[in-house]
Structure 1
Amino acid sequence: MTVKEKELAPDFKLPASNGKEVSLSDYRGKKNVLLYFYPKDMTPGCTTQACDFRDMHEDFSSLDAVILGVSPDPLDRHDKFIEKHGLPFLLLSDTDHKVAELYDVWKLKKNFGKEYMGIERSTFIIDKEGKVVKEWRKVKAKGHAEEALKYIRENLS
């Protein structure tokens, strides 16, 4: 399945860092959703991205947008990441990468000559009706939060 702009975002249910299970449909009719997939907690790029979203969290909230981060890390690792960096938004645990596959962000990657499967850093903006209104793939961590905030401010507020 390929996620496409202007179409309904695939729904899912994942364990969240607040101890509950979160579904994308929980936000339908209530909030815009910034759904971002990232490779791994505590790594430099992922930390930069998470801290940028943290620093702009109030700006996103003021635009009726909730931030959800998804990685294959287990909840205990998410808890450490949240605590270390003071992250005010939910991180979802996709340990079997089913949701990453659903959103077509589980990809063959190469690093230092090794090939492995992992998350391709990607972000999806989903409006209150549950439609994907914007997607970014192969995201560069630095500066991305500003770009996403600008998009929401100009198109969904």
Structure 2
Amino acid sequence: MTDRLSPGDTAPDFTLTNDAGDEVTLSDLRGRKVIVYFYPAAMTPGCTKQACDFSESLNSLKGAGYEVLGVSKDKPAKLAKFRERDQLTLTLLSDESLDVHKSFAAYGEKKLYGKTVEGVLRSTFVIDEDGKIELAQYNVKATGHVAKLRRDLGLASNG
């Protein structure tokens, strides 16, 4: 398993397909700050809450210079349904192979109902304009995460 990323590390580059079938490459976003977050599955309660929170904060995050990319193992068609169902405005990316999850150490052993299982670790990374990790947060909670992230980044609340 890949070691966890830390501030100062270079973010692993990737190209993934979004919910519209277009390719998105992380290095193409150099010069902007990027929030990349990994979530287990589209259209589940926690992941929906988290995606809606990011969507509701998107204008203010973009205003502060951040792009937001949500990454899951879901196929692009499922991501398109997720976007439509919940009126999501952020970029949703498909990583069916889990290669990008693994390169960010966002996949591995976790506890689920007292058992150790392999799975997606809900994780968020803030990447600076030069492609370096500014913030790496593993095993985040779906509810309240965006508000906490905004505080960690020194951004005012959504008010």
Matched with 1:40 is 41
The structural deviation recorded for 1:4 is 2.0
Structure 1 residue runs of 5 or longer lacking an equivalent are none
Matched with 1:4 is 6
User: Could you tell me how far apart the structure 1 residues matched to 2:57 and 2:46 are?
Assistant: 17
Alignment length (residue pairs): 153
The structural deviation recorded for 1:52 is 0.6
Matched with 2:87 is 86
Identity of aligned residues (%): 40
What does residue range 95-110 of structure 1 map to in structure 2 within 5 Å? Answer: 95-110=96-111
The structural deviation recorded for 1:115 is 5.3
Instruction: Name the SS for the 2:153 alignment partner.
Output: helix
The structural deviation recorded for 1:152 is 2.9
User: Could you tell me how far apart the structure 1 residues matched to 2:74 and 2:112 are?
Assistant: 19
RMSD: 1.5
Range moving further from structure 2, 60-69 or 115-124: 115-124
- Corresponding position: 1:17 with 2:19: yes
User: Could you tell me how far apart the structure 2 residues matched to 1:37 and 1:100 are?
Assistant: 7
- Corresponding position: 1:133 with 2:130: no
Range moving further from structure 2, 122-131 or 143-152: 143-152
Q: Does the 8 Å CA contact 2:11/2:133 hold for their aligned counterparts?
A: yes
